[in-house]
């Protein structure tokens, strides 16, 4: 079934140069997207791992056709980044920090897991969060591997790891080889 956002031609994309500023976990979040972290990495590539947002282990920045910014971040309470709950009263004695119970996955284990989690979709005040969530769910349902797509467009990645080998360097400017037509395929 085609969603209403896709029927009207809603477009969005992942961005790396702009970001929605979310300073803490109490920023309002109206929409949540439930998916596995491994599926997100497969479809949108690896997440950005550093932000001023407390407690998150990775996030994705998106922008839609109306230039509204969105941030898809992982839920805080399920990871090792918050190892302690608030101050609680023990059986006896003063207040102390009590560690959370339960096995917490490491950050790498979390992003490789196929367990479904709820990711929070943050947006600016007037953004259409529901249409963005529909767009994300549609991209996840298409299940297109981003690594395979890039390799089909540009060939295998050569990363020059072997220092003893003489590599043939490409001296043609990238701006003359890759242009907007490459991204519209």
pLDDT tens per residue across span 33-70:
999 999 999 999 899 876 666 667 888 999 999 999 99
* pLDDT tens digits for range 139-148: 999 988 888 8
Chain CA centroid to CA 178, Å = 25
Question: What is the spatial distance between Cα 36 and Cα 113, in angstroms, rounded to a whole number?
Answer: 7
Average pLDDT, rounded, for the chain: 77
Number of H helices, E strands in the chain: 7, 7
Whole-number percent of the chain with pLDDT over 70 = 67
- Nearest alpha carbon to residue 102 among 76, 80, 74, 120: 80
Is the confidence at residue 152, as pLDDT, over 90? Answer: no
At 162 the pLDDT is 72
At 183 the pLDDT is 60
Please state which of the ranges 33-37, 89-93, 156-160 shows the lowest mean pLDDT.
89-93
Which residue shows structure tokens 């918050």?
82
pLDDT grade, residue 164 (50/70/90)? Answer: confident
- Nearest alpha carbon to residue 136 among 153, 154, 123: 123
pLDDT grade, residue 84 (50/70/90)? Answer: very low
Chain CA centroid to CA 98, Å = 31
* pLDDT tens digits for range 113-150: 898 988 989 998 889 999 999 999 999 999 888 888 88
At 154 the pLDDT is 79
What is the reported pTM?
0.70
Q: Running DSSP on this structure, what letter comes out for residue 21? A: -
- Do 65 and 131 form a contact (C-beta atoms < 8 A)? no
Q: Three-class SS of residue 119?
A: strand
């Amino acid at each position: 079934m085609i969603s209403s956002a896709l029927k009207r031609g809603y477009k969005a994309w992942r961005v790396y140069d702009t970001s929605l500023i979310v300073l803490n976990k109490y920023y309002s979040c109206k929409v949540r997207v439930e998916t596995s972290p491994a599926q997100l990495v497969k479809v949108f590539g690896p997440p950005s791992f550093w932000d001023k947002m407390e407690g998150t282990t990775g996030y994705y920045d998106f922008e839609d056709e109306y230039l509204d910014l969105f941030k898809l971040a992982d839920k805080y309470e399920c990871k090792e980044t918050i190892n302690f709950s608030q101050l609680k009263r023990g059986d006896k004695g003063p207040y102390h920090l009590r560690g959370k119970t339960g096995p917490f996955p490491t950050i790498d284990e979390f992003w490789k897991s196929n367990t479904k989690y709820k990711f929070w979709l943050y947006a600016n005040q007037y953004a259409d969060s529901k249409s963005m969530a529909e767009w994300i769910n549609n991209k996840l349902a298409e299940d297109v591997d981003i690594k395979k797509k890039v390799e089909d467009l540009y060939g295998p990645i050569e990363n020059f790891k072997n220092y003893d080998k003489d590599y043939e360097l490409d001296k043609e400017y990238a701006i003359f080889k890759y242009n907007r037509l490459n991204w519209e395929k």
